[in-house]
Chains A and B, each alone.
Chain A
Amino acid sequence: GAGVSQSPRYKVAKRGQDVALRCDPISGHVSLFWYQQALGQGPEFLTYFQNEAQLDKSGLPSDRFFAERPEGSVSTLKIQRTQQEDSAVYLCASGEFPGELFFGEGSRLTVL
């Protein structure tokens, strides 16, 4: 596709439910990043893939968060047993390393 595509754009989950957020990066980009953005703040790094290898997951806030990119293209961020503090916008970006980042529109998660 022409840009980074994320789905769903909006997700409402009850506390304790599992959610899965999908990111389809720009074709050919080997690097893929997940960021979390709270209201009024800049994005915070979660994890980084180069092809299918997860090179850095230091930003994942707990072991309830899991990300994968099994074939080096589409990535899924999974959050188990969601908590209210997980409510945020989850942004995916792709790019070359090192180089310009291209972001998707984000997935807004609200946990009730």
Chain B
Amino acid sequence: KQEVTQIPAALSVPEGENLVLNCSFTDSAIYNLQWFRQDPGKGLTSLLLIQSSQREQTSGRLNASLDKSSGRSTLYIAASQPGDSATYLCAVEGQVAAGKSTFGDGTTLTVKP
């Protein structure tokens, strides 16, 4: 059974700092890994999707990497802003249970002005 862990559970940083969020998964047989952002009381907003054959994806100040063999992904946020404050979730779509994505419990980020 796929298990996804996100560390740390919460993170507080001053504005402008670069930061890294971590995601680890137990089964490397995956189709893809996706990072999401969730604001309080809202749904999930897709940030980046990394296919299993890819090593990284970039969008603006965000960069996500994938090391499938070690079961790890990182989300790098450059020059953090207060508007980045949210919960960040990673999800892994496995090959065994096709179509089913397994989520971590998220990292809650607070960026202080």
CB<8 Å pairs between A and B, sample of 23: A4-B43, A40-B105, A41-B105, A42-B106, A43-B89, A50-B99, A56-B97, A58-B97, A91-B43, A97-B99, A98-B93, A98-B98, A98-B99, A100-B46, A101-B91, A101-B101, A103-B36, A103-B44, A103-B45, A103-B46, A106-B42, A106-B43, A108-B41
User: Which residues of A sit under 8 angstroms from B98, Cβ to Cβ?
Assistant: 97-98
User: Which residues of B sit under 8 angstroms from A25, Cβ to Cβ?
Assistant: none
Asked if B89 contacts A42 (CB within 8 A), the reply is: yes
Residue pairs across A and B with CB atoms within 8 Å: the count is 65
What's the least CB distance linking A15 to chain B, in Å?
24
With A31-B99, A40-B105, A101-B101 known as contacts, the answer to whether A91 contacts B31 (CB < 8 A) is no
Residue B104 at the chain A interface, CB threshold 8 Å: yes
Asked if B99 contacts A55 (CB within 8 A), the reply is: yes
9 shortest interchain CB distances as A-B pairs? A42-B103, A98-B31, A103-B44, A103-B43, A105-B43, A48-B99, A100-B49, A42-B105, A45-B100
